[in-house]
Amino acid sequence: MYKLNCIVQIISIFICALIGIAYFTLAERKIIASIQRRRGPDVVGIFGLLQPIADGVKLLLKETVYPSSANLTIFLLAPILTFFLSMLSWTVIPFGNSIVFLDFNLGLFFLLAVSSLEVYGVIMGGWASNSKYAFLGSIRSAAQMISYEVSLGLILLSVILCAGSMNLSKIVEAQRTVFFCIPLFPMFVLFYITALAETNRHPFDLPEAEAELVSGYNVEYSSISFALYFLAEYGNMLIMSLLTVILFLGGWLPILIWLPGPIWLALKSLIFVIVFVLARACLPRFRYDQLMRLGWKVFLPFSLGWFMLQSAFFYTFEIYPILS
């Protein structure tokens, strides 16, 4: 019975994640269309609500084209690995009080480890394609993720220092008095900008720069293989939006009026999802040297300095973590 319950929970998380990703793509197309003063998808279903399903069916039914010079085993394994790791992250996200599949004390560390592993799927895909554009895109992605994960780790240490735990549910509970976005506002802003870089999104979408690399590391992929990369990318954006809310905006905790926890989590996350789309619609792309300079010469020194200052402040005034 316990195993059956676990299977049902995993399938439920998987289905909810896929539905969220599908309608995230629709929302992105609608918002960008509105900004550009056009209608966007509105033919398939009422207001275009069935467009994501039509796109998914189209990708499933398309012929899969394999490059003649590709390393087929790694070429096929790469998108599967990337998609699997993206879905794995959802298992530790607390959607409400006690509404979480894996609630363990190293949940934040688990998320950081999984996000670090995802770059292997990108590198494998770029290398196995045996295309100079795909390989250059994968190298860019690896360099970008390594550069910004250093800053990301220091930002997370600031949150852990306040909460006294790496358990995501306990971090949310530690914000009942005040959301961490208020005392840690600079880290809150830095975290979200770093999330844009970690997910290869505009204005940091250098691994997929259409003008330079055609489509980046996934240029040789088609059909279901391309769909897996696509789903993983949008899944990561949703994960980073949820993580921003959990770490800095109190997760499922209510604001002013009472609503069920999962609804509050979804409403808060929706703000950051929309910012992802607005960044793509409004901001110009960074040059690669600007991207690296921002990560190593701005974000890293600032996040390290803030963590040292916060640690010294806590030690001097004998401030202990909230949950200690």
Question: pLDDT digit string (tens) for 166-221?
Answer: 888 889 888 888 888 888 999 999 999 998 888 888 888 776 665 555 667 778 88
Q: Which is nearest to 106 in space by CA: 117, 92, 125, 96?
A: 92
pLDDT score, position 2:
66
Long-range residue pairs from 235-238, CB within 8 A, at least 24 positions apart, any chain: 235/17, 235/21, 235/83, 235/86, 235/87, 235/89, 235/90, 236/86, 236/89, 236/115, 236/118, 236/198, 236/199, 237/24, 237/199, 237/201, 237/273, 237/276, 238/17, 238/20, 238/21, 238/24, 238/269, 238/273
Burial class of residue 282 in the structure, from the number of CB atoms within 10 Å of its CB (0-12 exposed, 13-18 middle, 19+ buried)? exposed
pLDDT at 188: 92
Q: Which two tokens stand for residue 135?
A: 């390989």
Residue 89 DSSP label: G
Measure the CA–CA gap between 226 and 237, rounded to whole angstroms.
Answer: 17
Instruction: Please report which confidence band the pLDDT of residue 40 belongs to, taking 50, 70 and 90 as the band edges.
Output: confident
Q: What is the pLDDT of residue 190?
A: 92
Strand pairing partners for 83? none
As separate numbers, helices (DSSP H) first and strands (DSSP E) second, the chain gives 12, 0
Query: String of b and e for 7-17 (b: at least 16 CB within 10 Å)?
Result: eeeeeebeeeb
- Return the bridge partners of 257, or none: 255
Name the average pLDDT for the chain: 85
- b/e for 85-115, b at 16 or more Cβ within 10 A? bbbebbbbbbbbeeebeeeeeebbebbbebb
Residue 161 C-beta-side C-alpha neighbours within 13 Å? 21
- Please give the pLDDT value at position 301: 92
> Phi, psi (5° rounding) for residue 192?
-70, -40
- Residue 166: the pLDDT is 87
